[in-house]
Amino acid sequence: MSEIAELGEFGLIRHLTEDIELKNESSRKGVGDDCAVLAPQAGMHTLVTTDMLMEGVHFDLTYVPMHYLGYKAVIENLSDIYAMNGRPRQITVSLALSKRFSVEDIDQLYTGMRQACEEHGVDIVGGDTTSSLTGLAISITAIGEARPEDIVYRNGAKDTDLICVSGNLGAAYMGLQLLEREKMVYNQQLAAAQRSGNKREMEYLNTMQPDFAGREYILQRQLKPQARRDIVEALAQAGIHPTSMMDISDGLSSELLHICTQSHTGCRIYEERLPLDYQTAAMAEELNMNVTTCALNGGEDYELLFTVPLSDNERIQQIEDVHLIGYITKEELGHALICRDGVEMELKAQGWNPLKKD
């Protein structure tokens, strides 16, 4: 293993970025100067979003491989650009690293980042590195573009609009629950072996791999999510311009209430219309969890939640992997989930909140 200190800050940056080739015309100068130089096309607006990921809060390196972490860190930001109906073009990457990480570790992190960028035609144009006393922190800024008339905000939903989601919900959350369960089991077994002084058992545990057969899909949704560029492109091809849109990072209920709050509307969604994968439902049953609650509040699906005018009903139903789950109402009618038995329940924001008290 190579120590990062041997390379130094600028040596590490060169090591990670020296062979990056810029692909976007708007990327005039990338890594290597004091600033990146961008030249967006005339008539386009620039979209900028930033996410910070902290070890121990947003990810656990006990079970998250570094290349998956790098991939996911980029995808989270690109998803925000797509949620504005834009196209991502560049990212900057800033890292805070503790001494326990080697050059090879960061190589793996960048391998994942570069894979995500290559898949979406995005250039890495800059960033920063620094030391950390507490672990790993990742901050990524994504830059995209869109024509002013194409940009979709959260505040455009109107009464009678249809509420749509792409893909399926709750899978990433159930993948996380599976990983957390296996971590807990491992820690309990390791603690027991340490108390008994059983070296053979400890050696076995250090090489043991959990059996995830039949759970591959939910693990992939947690560890390597996808940004739904395909849905944005399909909407454009169908001539559909959403009235509002968000990506589902904190949970469907939280995101939908954001749209309703900013659009001054109410909503009705139907439990029976929530799209679920079989593995999600099976894992929820195994863990004795309510699958609807997981779908509403799980988060990290990075699917698109959007509203379209009622007049687009036929066209929207022709787009593959898009599901109608309800409709927008007047604000005074509130926000409700219509259960399978017809009972109406108030929809509450119970998704991911990193700043809430334990």
| Distance separating alpha carbons of residues 88 and 297, to the nearest angstrom | 27
Buried b or exposed e, range 182-204, using 16+ CB within 10 angstroms: beeebeeeeeebeeeeeeebeee
Domains of the chain, earliest start first:
4-146 (3.30.1330.10), 162-175+220-346 (3.90.650.10)
Model pTM score = 0.91
| Distance separating alpha carbons of residues 319 and 325, to the nearest angstrom | 14
Please state, rounded to an integer, the average pLDDT across all residues of the chain.
91
If one counts every other C-beta atom within 10 angstroms of the C-beta of residue 257, the result is 18
The sign one gets for the Cα dihedral 316, 318, 321, 326 is positive
Residue-wise pLDDT for 10-63, tens only, equals: 677 676 777 778 888 888 877 776 787 888 888 999 999 999 999 999 999 999
308 has a pLDDT exceeding 90: yes
Residue 351 confidence (pLDDT) = 55
355 has a pLDDT exceeding 50: no
Residue-wise pLDDT for 234-280, tens only, equals: 999 999 999 999 999 999 999 999 999 999 999 999 999 999 999 99
| Distance separating alpha carbons of residues 97 and 206, to the nearest angstrom | 25
Residue-wise pLDDT for 82-133, tens only, equals: 999 999 999 999 999 999 999 999 999 999 999 999 999 999 999 889 999 8
Higher pLDDT, 334 or 11: 334
Give me the percent of the chain exceeding a pLDDT of 70: 94
- H or E element, residue 286: helix 278-286
Contacts of 30 (CB under 8 A, 6+ apart): 17, 20, 22, 36, 123, 124, 125, 126
